[in-house]
Amino acid sequence: PNQLHRAFLNLWRNAVQAMEPLAEGRQRVLTIRTAQAGDTVRISFGDSGPGISPDRQPQIFTPFFTTKPRGTGLGLAVVRKIIDDHHGSIEVQSSEHAGATLTVVLPVRRPPS
């Protein structure tokens, strides 16, 4: 539970930080959704930030990769490690200037060892 808490906190923080540079008057919206789909649970964090360009999407989970002026670039790498350790996956949906949604997909039950 503590690891998943950390992963979700990192996703929340990343979404909030992505919206910091928005132009005056542009609405900042963070949407968190949960759903069960068959044998999985989906937790999505969507923001109204500038989005992630297609050429950068493959890099966002790489340790020390960041586009922010401050930070270590470890947040999403840590998230991926935690989700992998829980037999889950992360989906990224984004386009430039249209925000981003990162969705964690976790099995409802632990797979047999």
Q: Quick check: 66 pLDDT over 80?
A: no
Residues 94-111, mean pLDDT to the nearest whole number:
87
For 23, the token pair is: 């132009």
Q: Quick check: 18 pLDDT over 90?
A: no
Higher pLDDT, 60 or 91: 91
Residues 3-29, mean pLDDT to the nearest whole number:
87
Local confidence band at 56 (pLDDT 50, 70, 90 cut-offs): confident
Per-residue confidence (pLDDT) for residue 112, from 0 to 100: 66
CA nearest neighbour of 98 among 20, 19, 34, 25: 19
Report yes or no on whether pTM surpasses 0.75: yes
Q: State how far the alpha carbon of 26 is from the alpha carbons of 42, 48, 58, 94, in Å.
A: 28, 9, 27, 18
| Mean predicted lDDT score pLDDT of the chain | 88
CB atoms within 10 A of CB 110: 9
- Indicate left, alpha or beta for 62 from its phi (over 0: left) and psi (-120 to 50: alpha): beta
